[in-house]
Amino acid sequence: MPTATSMTPTSTSDSALLACGRLRARIEAIHPEIDGGRFPAKRELGDVLVVQVDLVADGHDILAGAAHFRHEGATEPRSVPLTPLVNDRWQGSTSLEKLGTMLFSITAWVDEFATWRRGFERKIEAGQDVAVDILSGAALLEAAAARAAGPEKAHLEGVASSLQDKAGTLDEKCRLALDPALVPVVSRLPDPEKVTCLGREVPVTVDPVRARFSAWYEMFPRSCGKGGKHGTFRDAEEWLPYVAGMGFDVLYLPPIHPIGRSHRKGRNNSTTCEKGDPGSCWAIGAREGGHKDVHPELGTLDDFRHFVEKAREHGLAVALDIALQASPDHPYVKEHPEWFRARPDGTIQYAENPPKKYQDIYPFDFEGEAWQSLWQELLSIFLFWAEQGVRVFRVDNPHTKPIAFWEWCLTRVKKTHPDAIFLAEAFTRPKLMYALAKVGFSQSYTYFTWRTTRSELTTYLTEVTRGEVAEVFRPNLWPNTPDILPEHLQFGGSGAFASRLVLAATLSSSYGVYGPAYELMEHEARPGSEEYIDNEKYELKTWDVDRPDSLQELMRRVNRIRKENPALHHNRTLVFHKTDNPSLLCYSKTSSTRDNAVLVVVNLDPHHPQRGAIELDLAALGVPDDSPFQVHDQIGDARFLWRGSRCTVELDPAVMPAHVFRVLRRVRREQDFEYFL
């Protein structure tokens, strides 16, 4: 099969046009391809990468094509014939069995032998003289044989010789020429001067499955101490069974580094720090060290490595927060003042978001005179923690740093650690979020936190799970964060906490919560704000996770439902179903093999029971029209037998604001529930 080398002209000069004059096939509408191949689409280990293209040519000749797949670092591609779909659309695929970057290219050509064979058959059917046509076919076989090797070469030469043998009968020659086994062999051996090549390789990033399907739990290890004492990593290890027992698989820690003392923030973000106030852990750096050091009250670097290993034993990956900023006490400030922006009076510019001032944080100057040495040092922070066993990073405010830096930095981290995952904490403009995804962020925070109505949720989730956006942007839905206590959680009660949990966990294949604040339904905010009162960012907390009103059992059940239903492991099949009550949101997902379907109905009103009719898209659920089917509520364990597309649902938020149905299609007798799959 031809290799994917370029023969496509790069200009419209006469010489270029003449050079491509024999290239009749055209390659168009490549998928997946992001910005003309400038950025990679995203897939996960174990996926099947399906490539689709349009192949067109003048006239009615038969076309053929091939996709050429090469893992970055390999020298020779693996070539796969393209198969036709409809309307000049073609497809080829390969399994993704290695992390890193998969590259693919496309070649296409007019299949002269297949075209000849089709015409030859029609002439025979019409009773026409085909003696000369047999010789034309023999010539095509001879040309293909010249490009073949081994047994194929000998076989093609033998058939061509038999077709040219004057002693052979016409019937025998026709039988040989129409042997269907010849077509795929000759199709793989086109004239290289007539093969159109894409002329470039299109990249696809192959990430760990956790980049697509993950449940995150955020926890401050310093609040794991007993008796109000500052917690250590050893204390935090005692929480691992609790977090893992709820079914989470990523444990996210805010920054674990030494905290600055200059302008240290007090409780509730006060500019006055009282004795014993631990400060914001995002004000990184003190005399004890900086971004590559551990806060001494948490323990040592060995303690942290031990914590990472213990978490792994519980099925948890530790995600570390990387905040590229420094406190005034950070060693960088004295050792490398050139990495910061100086004001006209010679002082270093602290962070501001007028009228807010963050005197405890100095931003880095990413475009200053010393930008190259700064970038190298910041890259080394990621590599350092990767060497300590961390492969998941939550990156603080990446949208306030140059996109070019992230493309450079994340590419280099992934070269060394292709299993690395990066979550962008980027509550910012949509296209900026998408740009960060294109340059390497594996997942991103989203606007879900503030989308509450049926219309808002339907519109937004459709946007981030369809088209080119879905090829690069993996949404990670968070109902709350240490920075954000949205209004609906402040006033919605347990119904709001339960419904937002179910929405986040089932609308997206990745979601997260800031706990234990979430399961304990902490809802007190600073007046007139979306910030927690007595915020854990600025003080140690004591959490009673055994409180009887905790949502931990619901979390455990929801995460179990996610793991047991492959339909919830991805977002591409998300379909919204119509309801006649705007307070009811209904949607479904199906697995890639179509043998698992989940239907979710959520009451968006946290205060009142809501009832309404649902108009189901049965085709999306894989249910035949007017066929009975059973739905099994995975939360409440109730079962219902439905028929047709219309059904009625009632949900009381005081009891449970959501149904998560597994759709069970009937395979035998309608009356026998046990025969549903």
Q: What's residue 67's pLDDT?
A: 97
User: Where does the pLDDT of residue 20 fall: very low under 50, low under 70, confident under 90, or very high at 90 and above?
Assistant: low
7 has a pLDDT exceeding 70:
no
Domains of the chain (ranges, CATH numbers): 14-206 (2.60.40.10), 210-323+372-565 (3.20.20.80), 569-675 (2.60.40.1180)
* Amino acid, single-letter form, for residue 613: A
Q: How many Å apart are CA 626 and CA 623, to the nearest integer? A: 9
Instruction: Please provide the average confidence, as pLDDT, over all residues in the chain.
Output: 93
pLDDT for residue 10: 44
Whether the Cβ atoms of residue 489 and residue 448 lie closer than 8 Å to each other: no
pLDDT digits 0-9 by tens, 562-595: 999 999 999 999 999 999 999 999 999 999 888 9
Peptide bond into 184 cis (omega under 30): no
Instruction: Give tens-digit pLDDT for 285-315.
Output: 999 999 999 999 999 999 999 999 999 999 9
SS3 297: coil
Looking at the chain, the number of H-run helices and the number of E-run strands are 19, 30
Name the residues annotated as catalytic: 396, 425
> What pLDDT, on a 0 to 100 scale, did the predictor assign at position 168?
85
pLDDT value, residue 263: 92
Which whole number is the average pLDDT over 546-560? 97
Mean pLDDT of 489-493: 97
pLDDT of residue 359: 86
pLDDT score at 13: 61
- Per-residue model confidence as pLDDT tens digits over 332-353: 999 999 999 988 988 898 888 7
What is the share, in percent, of the chain residues with pLDDT greater than 90? Answer: 89
Which of 627, 618, 616 minimizes the C-alpha distance to 666? 627
Give strand pairing partners of 108. 65, 196
Q: Which of the four pLDDT bands, split at 50, 70 and 90, describes residue 354?
A: confident
Identity of residue 651: L
The pTM (predicted TM-score) of the whole model is: 0.92
Percent of the chain with pLDDT over 70: 95
**DSSP sequence for 443-509:** EE--GGGG--SHHHHHHHHHHHTSHHHHHH--BEE-S-BTTB--HHHHHSHHHHHHHHHHHHHHHSS
DSSP letters for 87-133: TTEEEEEEE--SSEEEEEEEEEEE-HHHHHHHHHHHHHHTT---HHH
8 Å CB contact between 575 and 617: yes
List phi, psi (to 5°) of 329: -95, 0
pLDDT at residue 601 greater than cutoff 60: yes
CB of 521 closer than 8 Å to CB of 497: yes
Asked if the model's pLDDT at residue 621 lies above 70, the reply is yes
Confidence bin at 15 (pLDDT 50/70/90): low
Number of residues that this document lists for the chain: 677
Task: For residue 45, name the pLDDT band (cuts at 50, 70, 90).
Answer: very high
Q: Is the pLDDT of residue 677 over 60?
A: no
